[in-house]
Amino acid sequence: MRYHSRLPAATLHPHALEPRNAESFASDAKVIGLVGGAHALSHFFQLALPPLFPLLRDEFGVSWSLLGALMGAFYVASGVSQFAAGFAVDRFGARPVLYGGLALLAGGTVLAAFAPGIGWLFPVVMIMGVGNGVFHPVDFAILNASVAPRRLGHAYSVHGVGGALGYAASPVVTFALAVAIGWRPALALLGAAGLVALGFLATQRANLVCHLGRGAASHAGSAALLRQPAILACFAFFTIFTIGTIGLQTFSPATLNVAFGFPLALATTAVTAYLLGSAAGIVAGGFLAARTDRHDKVAATGLALGAVLLLSTAIVAPSATMLLPMFVAIGFVTGMIGPSRDMIVRNATPAGASGRVYGFVYSGLDLGSMIGPVWFGFMLDHAMGGAVFASAAACFVVAIATVLQVRRIGLARAA
């Protein structure tokens, strides 16, 4: 049994492909696994360099600030690329954009292994950032076109868990390899492994399809599309929510250690607990997203619970025995909203515009990733430890308004 895009057949690109056996569990599972694996690779390569910063600092004799600027360059390139990749997906399809993105990520990692100085790493990380930016518009275009609607909640859940696992594995694998064989051979080996994965994905062309638009979209039409209030609200949500979460991931260890007096080892473990809780929450959120059409309620509930837990941490520091369970809980309730968040974006996306909308909306992740560390680092520099968690809670509260706004706009348009 086949299902059809919301876009009428007459408006589809002449080369658009119908999903093959979309209602088949085996077919859906294969597509979901491939896309989840590609997402895991993108997150893995995002963190290929940061675990090596101590080694790079020793070899090149540079400051931590300069090394931090490397990641800033990465996310600037990723944000610009993510926006542009959405147009490319709608015009040329998901496959070539996916292959190009992974080639740049993996190939850039290989090039980094041969950098003679820190200055050479800046263009390299920007190449990698361009590659990283393609994955959200590509992944969601494929999932929305190829997976049965009743399984999309689970598909988004697997997609999110893949990214979380990529994040979790990268520091461990990268640093362990660097200690064993040196950071240059480690990067070369990881990049080569990414190119092998690219070769495998190239054999799966039949499973990586998406609907294409009617051809090149006009600038005026695309601008009007991205100015729609619901789309702007989704972009605002991603930016604000990411400011809070990236601030927590980046500065929770320092805040817990400096402002609350927890040992650094325990403070660092709290972030691991947060990420593990987030992965579990994403899995649970997939079941919730598959069983409700009130995705705004799921997202708002998770954000509200996360804000309450963070405020309680800011006001009354948890004991050492309660710290890890507290951060598992914060990760769980914020991770739980992931699949519903993605469904909210899907429901706000006009047919035939998945690439452009997802590229624009998810570039909010990169914008938030640039703003969050600067803001949270400023607070910590000025001995405002409690404000770090309170500010993350404030971000979650403001984000609630954005997801509710998307539904309000949708109801108003339907009336």
Give pLDDT tens digits for 335-369.
999 888 888 888 877 766 777 788 788 888 888 88
Q: In the predicted model, what is the mean pLDDT of residues 294-310?
A: 92
How many residues are recorded in the chain? 415
Look at residue 413 in the predicted model and tell me its pLDDT.
55
pLDDT category of residue 215 using cuts at 50, 70 and 90: very low
Look at residue 9 in the predicted model and tell me its pLDDT.
36
Find out whether 364 and 355 touch, Cβ atoms under 8 Å: no
Q: Could you tell me the CA-to-CA distances from 72 to 60, 77, 134, 188 in Å, in that order?
A: 19, 9, 18, 23
Find out whether 108 and 156 touch, Cβ atoms under 8 Å: no
Lowest mean pLDDT among 117-121, 312-316, 393-397: 312-316
- CATH (one of 1.20.1250.20, 3.30.450.80, 2.30.110.10, 3.30.420.40) for 224-414: 1.20.1250.20
Find out whether 45 and 194 touch, Cβ atoms under 8 Å: yes
Look at residue 225 in the predicted model and tell me its pLDDT.
72
| Domain limits, CATH 1.20.1250.20, in the chain | 19-206, 224-414
Query: Any residues with CB less than 8 A from the CB of 200 and at least 6 apart, and which?
Result: none
Copy the structure tokens of residue 115: 């950098």
Mean predicted lDDT score pLDDT of the chain: 82
Planar angle of CA 60, 65, 66, nearest 5 degrees = 45
Any long-range contacts for 185-189 (C-beta under 8 Å, 24+ apart)? 185/113, 186/52, 186/113, 187/48, 187/52, 187/109, 187/110, 187/112, 187/113, 188/109, 188/110, 188/113, 188/114
CATH code reported for the domain at 19-206: 1.20.1250.20
